[in-house]
Structure 1
């Protein structure tokens, strides 16, 4: 059975990814802060197919210790999906220093930290797939989201550089850049609620990620972007 780890697993896209990926051939280690939500998620699949991993990505030392205790990481994950992310739509000067630190930790440093923990086992196995969930804002600027945009630009550079460094050792790295997802993140602003047709459904994006994962071993989707045809321009 393959072992996968998914962050931000308790809701939204992460939850949809867990339900899409977990099954008789894949065990998903679901990482999020909300232990109760993770247990509820695990109950939706056969016993052992989804394993709750309650950790806080903002707590760097707690995350390090939790990853060190995860047996699946030590023996070698088959795949990792760095999905968790936070952000706020507001002027840069209205972000507190703590918000800036938490955003960079969760959106960029935690994915690096988890990759650093998971890579040795993958390389020892001679195979592994890392999927980083970026954003279409990783390739363009946006006022009032400067810290978030910066974190996604960083994740883009990290993903492509990691692939170039380890592709000859059996590692695949994919970056998936979605537009706005219907998860409550970026769901409205001072202009009010948006037309639901401009949002990606978590299940739609999860299906795309599954297609990236299920490519033959000799292929890698290094980057793919997707957004609703009716997505508004910022």
Structure 2
């Protein structure tokens, strides 16, 4: 990972911050993106890394996403990897979902991920290399009651990721999709479902999986990584 330029979207979240701490000692050049500028600065201060760039970014705004990638390439000259770890969840019965709920899930989880992938891929295609890691979650592969809007957004991420992977593989750009089960992160802080967070995966476990994929040999493409807790999470 020495001198690899890694853009972490959602860097201040549970999985994102755990990953940045994993990457910091490797000599990677880190670009930290999230909405909260003060949280980004706090995270950057905590990391023992020489090359770090913080870029406050609203991934639901394509102009903001384009600025993130432009600042990255202006500072470091390339983008070796993009990790999409940003996301939020609204879990409620289908008939209780308001239009604003659906729009929020689609804007952040689906459109936001698409914009970041699209913008990063433009630079990766030119340099003929790159790795895009999308943290989908298990509800992007399997359905669950109360998750209609959330799963709609995450199934969409899987769809566009696989299409982009087909278009970009001849340019040396690879995709890895991560289907984690419940991860004990701030994601669950505002979720009303009764879950046993002690039985969930840790953010470090998720970060280790992403770190493994980022270190894969150029000819090796870990297309999907599934990690689930071995116990039931819901009461």
Kindly report which structure 2 residues correspond to 1:50-65, keeping only aligned pairs within 5 A, or say none: 50-65=52-67
Q: How many residues align?
A: 233
- 2:14 is matched with 12
Q: What residue number does 1:202 align with?
A: 203
Distance 1:80 1:73, change over 3 A: farther
Show the counterpart of 2:154. 152
Instruction: State the alpha-carbon separation in 1 of the partners of residues 135 and 42 from structure 2.
Output: 24
Deviates more, 1:118-127 or 1:142-151: 118-127
Asked if 1:215 is matched to 2:216, the reply is yes
Distance 1:97 1:68, change over 3 A: farther
Match of 1:227 in 2: 228
Match of 2:98 in 1: 96
Please give the alpha-carbon distance, in whole angstroms, between the structure 1 residues aligned to 2:78 and 2:51: 17
Q: 1:194 to 1:168 in 2, by over 3 A?
A: same
Q: How much does 1:130 deviate?
A: 0.3
How far is 1:99 from its partner?
2.7
Structure 1 Cα separation of the partners of residues 88 and 193 of structure 2: 21
Deviation at 1:65, TM superposition (A): 4.1
Shift of the alpha carbon at 1:155? Answer: 1.1
Q: 2:94·2:146 contact (CA, 8 Å) conserved in 1?
A: yes
Classify 1:191/1:66 alpha carbon distance in 2 versus 1 (closer, same or farther; 3 Å).
closer
| SS of match in other structure, 1:185 | helix
Tell me which residue corresponds to 1:178: 180
CA distance in 1, matches of 2:117, 2:192: 37
In the TM superposition, what whole-angstrom CA distance separates every residue of 1:159-205 from its partner, at most 9, and x where no partner exists?
22222221121111000110000013246866745150x20100111
Cα distance in 2 for partners of 1:59, 1:168 equals: 29
Q: Please give the root-mean-square deviation of Cα atoms over the aligned residues, in Å.
A: 2.3
Change (3 A) 1:10 1:24: same
Residue 218 (structure 1) shift? 0.5
- Rounded to whole Å, the distance in 2 between the matches of 1:161 and 1:73 is 30
Match status 1:125 vs 2:123: no
Instruction: After superposing the two structures, state which structure 1 stretch, 220-229 or 19-28, moved more.
Output: 19-28
